[in-house]
Structure 1
Amino acid sequence: MAIGVLSLLGFQLVDSAFIARLGTAPLAAQSFTFPLSFLIIGVQVGMGIAIAAQISRSLGAGDTARARRLGSLVLVVGAAVIGVLALLLWVLQAPIFLRLGADASTLELIRDYWAPQLLAAWLGAAIYFGYSLFRAHGNTRLPGSMMVMTSLVNLLLDPLLIFGVGSWEGLGLPGAAWATVVAFATGLVVLGWQVGRTNWLARHGLVEELRASARSFAGIAGPAMISQLMPPLAAMLAIAVVASQGEAQVAAWGLASRLETLSLMVVLAMTMSLPPWLGRCYGAGDWDQVHRLMRLALRVIIVWQLALGLLMALAAPWVALALSGNPEVRDDLALLIRFLLPSYAALGVCMIVVSAGNALGWPLRAMLMSGARLFIFYLPCLALGAWLGGFLGLAAGAAIGNLMAGFAAWCVLRRILASPRRRARVA
């Protein structure tokens, strides 16, 4: 899963790099679509979390028939929900993008790009639901391999469809979206063939299962979706604080944000692979194993992220030099690396605890914890640090916010798992 996450992040960066060669206007047009793409991703990830939790709990309880019905429902209902959302975003594109600040010429570029991009988003969601099915059954190897495969197909097609080949001039900005469409369509065909070889789906009793499971599914999916939509909102508020420091500081913050995603690769992989294990233990009532899994996960995250963060902090000047040629941006980026990268050990703890909450029967607490991390610890500390100490204070405040969030998440986890019903038995 870590390799798969890295490949997905890589092809998103490659897309932007190729589009940047077309000029500022196409890159700006693509940037206007990011908030709506995050909306689709937030909905699909929230549903995927609920899928993995419900199916893995059924498997843990030994109810394989219900797990099959849930698997079939998820693929059908999930694809239908994302399809309706994509259709609405297509119909309402003009008023939405105009309100976001796009002018007439940018809107024209967006219109050519938005249709294939929405199709790519729908195909990507369908694949993601299939990945969730495999993860719920304990198979993370296939989703990771499929992520790598689709990323490679996209990488090969991007320059051909954007810039053309020979006398064909290519499609320009829409070519990036069509490359993703072909990559995801190829992945969906391979995934469908793999699903067909399993015995994880059912054809009968789906309507009755939908009625019986709708409330519990929504109880997990709703908070999970809100949790997924909060980080983009927090990122917009954070960049507003950073913008008060200057243009070079905004550039350094943007590069640091890309480093954050890559440095949290292992954490992101664990947030996808750990919940199915926990869900099975939850369904079987095996809280001893839950305690062991959480202890192991937290140790791995703290050791890995702390070692990586300290190494990056020591190498900050050289990392900043490799990423930026502007001396002012380079110095600010090195400052951010020194403060933020080691604090991601605490951030990783919070992310793992939030992810575990959806599998262990407390999705609302997980949502509140995610909100507290962003809007009680991180953003206030960042803003207060900027007010007191400029950019240095901003970097220190962001790091302190991460540390406070990680400690709070650890305290909440200990309290929840220490309840009589969830306390590990002493041998």
Structure 2
Amino acid sequence: MPPASAATSLGATLWRQTWPMAIGVLALLGFQLVDSAFVARLGTAPLAAQSFTFPLSFLIIGVQVGLGIAIAALISRALGAGEALRARRLGSLVLMVGSATIALLALVLWWTQAPIFSRLGADAITRALIRDYWAPQLFAAWLGAVLYFVYSLFRAHGDTRLPGKMMVMTSLVNLVLDPLLIFGVGPWEGLGLPGAAWATAIAFGCGLLMAIKRLRRNDWLARHGLKLELAASLRPFASIAGPAMISQLMPPLASMLAVSVVADLGGSAVAAWGLASRLETLALVVVLAMTMSLPPWLGRCYGAGDWIQIRRLIGLALKVVVVWQLSLGMILALLSPWAAHLLAGSPEVRDDLTVLIRFLLPSYAALGVCMLVVSAGNALGWPLRAMLMSAARLFLCYLPGLWLGASLGGLAGLAIGAALGNVLAGMAAWQLMRRMQARSEASEHGEPKLFSRERT
């Protein structure tokens, strides 16, 4: 196949793998916004109670995403190496181990809720609201984690369409059930704040039933040889899942530190920063989708030893991310006054948000490069390097730039410093990728040194 035709075919496949996940991620982001919007109608106290649970919810999500990364990496490698039976054994194991791990974590968070929420600053009235909400919310979180593990199996087998459709479907079910269960209908008054958790649990439960039915039809699970497979795969699974979970838990920590810096600039700056953070997630939806669709593909190439295809895939993905994010960022920067007017209420918040959009959004092109390199690292056998790259981005580039900029130039300096931190992180990730490519090209046979499996 000529190079131009090969590139076109590769791009078309990347598009088919990524767009369903992009739509699904966008639906999940809407999922969270809908919950908060309905809970806000209950009043300030229920909204505050729900907000106190967010850090612990992020903890559960960090653990489940780390396990999901390991699931997709190991199974896709087994498939790439032609070990279909082993892939089925791994599928059964990760569903059982992952479900049990999240269930244990949920139980611990339930039993320790009183001291945890007291430490977070919740008063007695707020803790009473949390107590009614926390049990169904943890149950919903467990169902969501199991559903995420099932999605990871589909992605490992190259199917991104069903996870994308399921994400949209569960979001729509949640959208319909939220007002019914929170506010009630007719003579039924509804459940209030716990209704939001039960709506989420039912939505995830419906998605899980449909996904498991499809999973069994595809014959991707095994019943025999699981004990031996567990003994053989536990160490490589932990070597990927551990660093990946740490990488997923670092952004919430960095976010809390960033808010503490922004808080010194005043209430309008904090409000604008919160809106900019939500806009960041939406602006990076294509990158987030690609970090889900690309690693299983890379893992299959890794298992087959196809380093030429790996270089092509990574090169194409990086080009797409840079062009897309830079174009989107420049357009939003030019339209920042109008975008801020749509999102913000008071003039002070609008002015601050305009400054943040103008400087931060174009820098997400570099941030996207770093995110892709970290995601590829977990698929290509170097999770420790991926974790260190993630830590360097947050704690050596982003946070120092943000703090120094705020100290020297207020909100504008903060925006410039954060943007420069993203650019530095992107450049470091690009240099790491170039080193990997250079070493792989220098090796004619066998695995390139930088792609070799890390010892733990």
TM-score normalised to the size of structure 1? 0.98
What are the equivalent positions in structure 2 for 1:344-359 lying under 5 Å apart? Answer: 344-359=364-379
Q: Distance in 2 between matches of 1:325 and 1:90?
A: 37
- Residues 155 and 420 of structure 1: CA distance in aligned 2, closer, same or farther (over 3 Å): closer
1:260 has 2:280 as partner? yes
Match of 2:18 in 1: none
1:298 to 302, 315, 318: 318
Match of 2:224 in 1: 204
Following TM superposition, by how much is the alpha carbon of 1:11 offset from its aligned partner in structure 2, in angstroms?
1.1
Following TM superposition, by how much is the alpha carbon of 1:416 offset from its aligned partner in structure 2, in angstroms?
2.1
Q: Distance in 1 between matches of 2:430 and 2:174?
A: 39
1:91 to 84, 106, 111: 111
1:65 to 85, 94, 109: 85
CA displacement 1:83-117 (0-9 Å, x = unmatched): 01101111111111111111111000000000000
Root mean square deviation, CA, Å: 1.0
Structure 1: runs of 5+ lacking an equivalent: none
Structure 1 contact 238–379 (Cα < 8 Å) conserved: yes
Q: Distance in 1 between matches of 2:182 and 2:219?
A: 41
Match of 1:36 in 2: 56
1:238 has 2:277 as partner? no
CA displacement 1:147-199 (0-9 Å, x = unmatched): 00000000000001001111111111000000001100100110111011112
Following TM superposition, by how much is the alpha carbon of 1:397 offset from its aligned partner in structure 2, in angstroms?
0.3
Match of 2:43 in 1: 23
Q: What is the aligned-residue identity percentage?
A: 75
Match of 1:269 in 2: 289
1:415 to 435, 439, 442: 435
Match of 1:158 in 2: 178
Q: Distance in 1 between matches of 2:360 and 2:261?
A: 16
Structure 2 contact 307–440 (Cα < 8 Å) conserved: no
- Residues 209 and 183 of structure 1: CA distance in aligned 2, closer, same or farther (over 3 Å): same
Following TM superposition, by how much is the alpha carbon of 1:283 offset from its aligned partner in structure 2, in angstroms?
0.4
Match of 1:182 in 2: 202
1:317 to 330, 337, 346: 337
Q: Distance in 1 between matches of 2:78 and 2:440?
A: 23
Structure 1 contact 287–422 (Cα < 8 Å) conserved: no
What are the equivalent positions in structure 2 for 1:107-146 lying under 5 Å apart? Answer: 107-146=127-166
Q: Distance in 2 between matches of 1:111 and 1:424?
A: 61
CA displacement 1:297-350 (0-9 Å, x = unmatched): 000000100010011011101110011120010011011000000000000000
One-letter code aligned to 1:251: A
Q: Distance in 1 between matches of 2:276 and 2:307?
A: 39
- Residues 18 and 285 of structure 1: CA distance in aligned 2, closer, same or farther (over 3 Å): same
- Residues 152 and 424 of structure 1: CA distance in aligned 2, closer, same or farther (over 3 Å): farther
Structure 2 contact 393–425 (Cα < 8 Å) conserved: yes
1:168 to 188, 209, 212: 188
1:11 to 6, 10, 31: 31
Match of 2:400 in 1: 380
Q: Distance in 2 between matches of 1:407 and 1:41?
A: 28
Q: Distance in 2 between matches of 1:219 and 1:418?
A: 26
For 1:354, what is the secondary structure of its paired residue? helix
Match of 2:242 in 1: 222
Structure 1 contact 287–424 (Cα < 8 Å) conserved: no
Following TM superposition, by how much is the alpha carbon of 1:417 offset from its aligned partner in structure 2, in angstroms?
2.8
- Residues 170 and 282 of structure 1: CA distance in aligned 2, closer, same or farther (over 3 Å): same
Runs of 4+ residues over 6 Å off in structure 1: none
For 1:418, what is the secondary structure of its paired residue? helix
1:77 has 2:97 as partner? yes
1:106 has 2:99 as partner? no
Q: Distance in 1 between matches of 2:43 and 2:77?
A: 50
Match of 1:251 in 2: 271
Match of 1:370 in 2: 390
Match of 1:52 in 2: 72
Structure 2: runs of 5+ lacking an equivalent: 1-20, 446-456
- Residues 271 and 422 of structure 1: CA distance in aligned 2, closer, same or farther (over 3 Å): farther
Following TM superposition, by how much is the alpha carbon of 1:423 offset from its aligned partner in structure 2, in angstroms?
5.4
- Residues 252 and 422 of structure 1: CA distance in aligned 2, closer, same or farther (over 3 Å): farther
Q: Distance in 1 between matches of 2:81 and 2:73?
A: 12
Q: Distance in 2 between matches of 1:53 and 1:252?
A: 38
Q: Distance in 1 between matches of 2:243 and 2:145?
A: 19
One-letter code aligned to 1:238: A
For 2:434, what is the secondary structure of its paired residue? helix
Q: Distance in 1 between matches of 2:401 and 2:170?
A: 39
Q: Distance in 1 between matches of 2:422 and 2:443?
A: 28
CA displacement 1:116-157 (0-9 Å, x = unmatched): 000000000000000000000000000000000000000000
